[in-house]
Structure 1
Amino acid sequence: MKLLPLSSLAAALLLGAAGSAVAAPPPLKPCRVEGVPNELQCGSVRRALDPARPDGPQIDVHYLVVPAMARNKRPDAVLFLAGGPGQSAIDIAPKVLQRLNRLGNRRDLVFIDQRGTGKSAPLECPDERKLPVADQLDPAAQMQRLLACRDALQKLPYGDLRFFTTSLAMQDLEAVREQLGVPQWNLIGASYGTRAALEYLRQFPSKVRRTVIDGIAPPDMALPATMSADAQAALDGLFEAHAKTRPQLRAQWQALLASLPRSVTVAHPVSGKPERFTLDRRLLMSAVRGPLYAPALAAALPEAIDLAVAQNRFEGLLGLAGGLGSGKGMKLATGMHFSVICAEDMPRLDAAADRPGADFGADTQQMYREVCKTWPRGTVPEAFYDVPPAPSPVLVLSGGADPVTPPRHGESVTARLAAQDKSRVQHVVVPEAGHGVTALPCMKDVVFRFIDAKQDAEALPQDAACATRTPRPLDFKLPTP
């Protein structure tokens, strides 16, 4: 899901961590992580790639522990589950720690690189950012690179791509919990990490004390189908929000779409050298999708559209496409991403009720279909797609302007979690937030109060008015010369 997308597994794997032997717990070792000034602790647990073959290929699942600051710490550590699918939890830790600093006073904070990501048997494809823009955007060339990457990954010692599913990965996390001696986790999952959290909660309900899921990616959502519909709703919402200040915006947008394909010249994002290529509808929609994740970036889209139509200047639109960042922690392990999506989402795609958005169309869906035709698929138990009633308090967070995991997915999951006890679940919708509500400044206090409450009855409901009243960022306009 930036989310984006992810995961899978076999019926025999429901045995959980007992399905493969866990080596004797090694001592944690002092380590350093770029972006964190103080010394931390690192460890790993050895796991069978295929739990049905405990003597077969092995992988090391690596994790980072940020020790509690207080000497008298609480035993229930906080586990952060990264998004993607394909994001490294350890790489993103420096960006997340500032949101968890209050929790980190009396609780250890744990970041585990899910199998296929970061240091844990990574399934990464070559970085394409230095390629010419035309090559980066050419769909045929992209497909060739993906398939070549698939072939290269399959030659790795751990290259059986069927065994990088969400269900298997959550069994790895349970092995880490046992190794660390943590009686119960407090889970915080973002984007795809919400699907991971729900699966861990399904498999190991007694090992979870509290759960925060932000930007819900349900296990049964069929991401390649929902992506277009949800992105279209976010784009339409942007146009509506700017209808008074820019009454011509929708007409400009339609004029821009009607002008495609067209030849454009932009500076390469890395080299800065001007490059000329053909901009078509698929490339334009890809450029627009990224900024919609973050309202602060989306606020500049109307001005970028105006510049493209009125002055034939596309630097703004294509520059915003990379505005979410490409630094450490933002890169996805592409192989892990497709191993999850192809196994978990694609089997449900044909039955999905979501129809492609009018502007976004079915291009992304077709890309996933093409890749997943030959991508090895893991087995997913039918129970994976269920969301059982919550065994403990769950705080569900959704951004009203989120283009990939909007509130409708949070509502669906909330209804199932609250089926037996509505007091255990609260769904907070922040109308003007994008993809990621916990990033809002005041939400770290809401999350802290939820997790730190001594009794379950005190954990919910939480007052999140500080976030729900957040306004949409103002329309960005370049100063008049």
Structure 2
Amino acid sequence: MRRHYYTFLILLMFLASCSSRDLTAVPDGSIALEDCALTSPAGNQVDARCGTLTIPEDRSNPNGRQIELKVAVIPAIKRSPETDALFLLAGGPGQSAIEAFPGMISMMSQIHESRDIVLVDQRGTGKSNPLRCLDPEDESLTDEEALAKLKSCPETLDADLRFYTTEIAMTDLDEVRSALGYETINIYGASYGTRAALTYLRMFPEHVRTVTLDAVVDSDFVMFMDAAEDGQAALDQFFARCDADDACKVTFPKLQNEFDGILARLEESPAEITIPHPLTNNPLELTVTPQMITNMVFNTLYVPDFVATLPLSIHEAYADENYVPLISQAFLVNAGIYDGMFYAVTCTEDAPLISASEASKRGEQSVFGDRTVDFAAVCAEWPKGKVTPEFREPVASDVPVLILSGEADPITPPWHAEKVSESLTNEIHLIFSGMGHGNLSSRCSSNLFKTFIESASIEGLDIACVANIQPPPFFVDFSGPRP
């Protein structure tokens, strides 16, 4: 269960649909594209045009080692589309944009009618020189074994890990833009993708028409430093929401006590269980510890649909020692991350800024504890790249920016977005009550997104629907919420 100790900034793509249509032309550029199909693990398929762009791994040495970037273009449905495509920047860091997209096509369907959608697997992910340390389907390693493997991982990777930073990746992205022939683009960044989007906006403002930031990472954000406090705030909101909900309160009147009881019981005697692996269905032997449970709960808080079943999952774990519902859902939150790329980026950009004493102090005030210790231990063994002095500066811009935040997001709650908005002069920040990490899946937000992209303006957006968004109701049993 070790990889759940490294909760990533990842936007999950749950709404899926199939796309099957004739592919219209894309801008004439220097990337040779051919028909391809993008397929999700659930079997959803999206028709696209795919190609590769060969780039130097070290951009200061253009004649040195070359790597390939995987690119996919989903052509607009209209025969005469708008010329400013939408580029999607994935989360993590370490998520493949191409692998994630089939699960979010329904969120983008309105944009897709009149604009191409461009996906680039950031270097180190997908089929762009992928960097992986741990087998995502193998949970057999102990935490100690996994930590040792992560520390020694750089020796096993075919990469110069100094050259996988966000700024270098955004230079790659601009080369893709130019090669595909787009003069200006719209950018949607989710989670870590907001760091990437803001970096691109700072580096190449002349090519940006609009930016949409979903689950925002601010310029001062340091991986895991705020996780204990932000996660505790989200957990407190969860318990308060259950207590304020008649059905939840009646069914689970002592929910927080039950949660505390689970942790106390496991502290005294960890549980040995076997469950079907949620991704492979193979038998999976686990030792359930308090830290595992808190990590599972932290992961679950990302996703409102999962939070809806969390009271029932906690009660099942407490009353019957049935940990399967809680563990199975939480497994899915970190699926699809190229962990080698995660560490290549964050060991350069985040780890040097960790204050061990401050992190420890914050961890003491949270059930989630200090989440920086193992991260810092891994990064101590990894090579570090360079970032420019501007990288950690707030991005100032008058480009139209739409910002989306979930009130109950455990990793990027709204206060991070508020800091970003201070230096943006043409932005609107929408906060969705009770919602979690990533907020483009509702009809309200997708319609606002479409209107914003079409108009390239925050003026005139009808945001009344935002007040009507509510998280899914709590399940009182496995048949669902109370009617």
TM class, shorter-length: 0.7 to 0.9
Are 1:57 and 2:68 an aligned pair? no
Distance 1:284 1:178 in 2: 47
SS at match of 1:260: helix
Counterpart Cα distance in 2 of 1:121 and 1:397: 31
Alpha-carbon deviation of 1:315?
1.9
Q: For the structure 1 residues 243 and 37, does the alpha-carbon distance in structure 2 shift closer, same or farther, using more than 3 Å as the test?
A: closer
1:274 and 1:101 mapped to 2: Cα distance?
A: 38
Name the residue aligned to 1:183: 183
The Cα of 1:479 is off from its aligned counterpart by: 5.9
* Map of 2:263 onto structure 1: 257
5+ long unaligned stretches in structure 1: 6-23, 419-423
Q: Quick one: which of 324, 335, 344 aligns to 1:339?
A: 344
User: Quick check: 1:202–1:387 contact (8 Å CA) kept in 2?
Assistant: no
Alpha-carbon separation, structure 2, partners of 1:131 and 1:99: 32
* Residue of structure 2 aligned with 1:449, choices 448, 451, 455: 451
Secondary structure of the structure 1 residue equivalent to 2:35: strand
Distance 1:479 1:296, change over 3 A: closer
TM-score normalized by structure 2? 0.86
Aligned to 1:63, the other structure's residue is in SS state: strand
Aligned counterpart in structure 1 of residue 325 of structure 2, from 295, 308, 316: 316
Aligned-partner SS, 2:312 = helix
Matches within 5 A, 1:106-125: 106-125=114-133
Q: Which residue of 2 aligns with 1:232?
A: 232
CA 1:366/1:4 → structure 2, altered by over 3 Å: closer, same or farther? farther
Secondary structure at 1:332 match in 2: coil
Distance 1:267 1:477 in 2: 23
Specify the alignment match of 1:9 in structure 2. Answer: none
The 5 Å alignment of 1:314-393 reads: 314-324=323-333, 330-350=335-355, 355-356=362-363, 357-362=365-370, 364-393=371-400
Deviation for aligned residue 1:93: 1.6
SS at the partner of 1:172?
helix
Report deviation, 1:452: 0.3
Aligned-residue offset at 1:210: 0.4
The aligned runs of 1:211-226 (5 Å cut-off) are: 211-226=211-226
Alpha-carbon offset, residue 349 of structure 1: 1.3
Change (3 A) 1:254 1:27: closer
- Call closer, same or farther: CA 1:260–1:26 in 2, change over 3 Å: closer
2:155 is aligned, of 151, 155, 167, to 151
Which residue number corresponds to residue 462 of structure 1?
Answer: 461
The 1:4–1:218 alpha-carbon spacing in structure 2 relative to 1, beyond 3 Å, is: farther
Partner of 1:40, secondary structure, is strand
**AA at the equivalent of 1:145:** K
Which is further off, 121-130 or 393-402? 121-130
The separation in 2 between residues aligned to 1:124 and 1:239, in whole angstroms, is: 37
* CA distance in 2 between partners of 1:336 and 1:126 (Å): 12
Which residue number in structure 2 is paired with residue 92 of structure 1? Answer: 100
8 Å contact 1:222–1:352 — kept in the other structure?
no
Query: Paired residue for 2:315?
Result: 306
Classify the secondary structure of the residue corresponding to 1:306. Answer: helix
Report the AA paired with residue 56 of structure 2. Answer: A
Q: Report what 1:3 is aligned to.
A: 9
The answer on 1:295 being equivalent to 2:299 is no
Per-residue CA deviations over 1:402-441 (Å, capped at 9, x if unaligned) read: 11111010111011223xxxxx100000012111111223
Residues 435 and 479 (structure 1 numbering): CA distance in 2 closer, same or farther, change over 3 Å? closer
Whether the aligned pair in 2 keeps the contact of 1:266 and 1:314 (CA below 8 Å) is no
Specify every segment of 5 or more residues in structure 2 that has no aligned partner in the other structure, as ranges: 1-6, 12-28
Counterpart contact for 1:66–1:108, Cα < 8 Å: yes
Q: In the alignment, which residue of structure 2 is the partner of 1:267?
A: 275
1:196 CA drift (Å): 0.3
Gap change, CA 1:151 and 1:318, over 3 Å in 2:
same
Report if aligned partners of 1:292, 1:298 keep a CA contact under 8 Å in 2: yes
Deviations 1:225-279 (A, max 9, x none): 112221111111101111241331122222222223223224242455474x543
The residue that corresponds to 2:401 in the other structure is: 394
Q: Alpha-carbon deviation of 1:353? A: 6.3
Cα distance in 2 for partners of 1:390, 1:26 equals 30
Q: Secondary structure at the match of 2:417?
A: helix
In the alignment, residue 470 of structure 1 is paired with which amino acid?
Answer: I
Question: Which secondary structure does the structure 1 equivalent of 2:470 belong to?
Answer: coil
- Distance apart, 1:320 and its partner CA: 2.8
Letter matched to residue 64 of structure 2: G
Residues in 1 aligned to 2:393 and 2:385: alpha-carbon distance in whole angstroms:
18
Distance change >3 Å, CA 436–CA 128, structure 1 → 2: closer
TM-score normalised by structure 1 residue count = 0.86
What do the CA deviations read for 1:58-99 (whole angstroms, capped 9, x no partner)? 111121011111122111111000111001111112122211
Q: Is the 8 A contact 2:163 2:385 kept in 1?
A: yes
Deviations 1:7-27 (A, max 9, x none): xxxxxxxxxxxxxxxxx9243
The CA deviation at 1:37 is 5.0
Q: Which amino acid aligns with 2:374?
A: M
* 2:192 equivalent in structure 1: 192
Structural mapping, 1:66-77, within 5 Å:
66-77=74-85
1:140 to 124, 139, 144: 144
In 2, the alpha carbon distance for the partners of 1:285 and 1:120 equals 34
Q: Secondary structure at the match of 2:70?
A: strand
Aligned counterpart, 2:36? 31
Structure 1's 47 and 475: CA in aligned 2 closer, same or farther, altered over 3 A?
Answer: same
Could you tell me which amino acid in structure 1 is paired with residue 459 of structure 2?
A: L
Larger displacement relative to structure 2 (352-361 or 55-64): 352-361
Letter in 2 for 1:345: D
Supply the distance in 1 between the matched residues of 2:152 and 2:460 (Cα, whole angstroms).
Answer: 50
**Post-superposition shift, 1:314?**
1.8
Structure 2 counterpart SS, 1:442: helix
Q: Which residue of 2 aligns with 1:105?
A: 113
Deviation at 1:470, TM superposition (A): 1.6
Identity level (%): 34
Answer whether contact 2:356 2:372 (CA < 8 A) is retained: no
- CA 1:204–1:273 in 2, change beyond 3 Å: closer, same or farther? closer
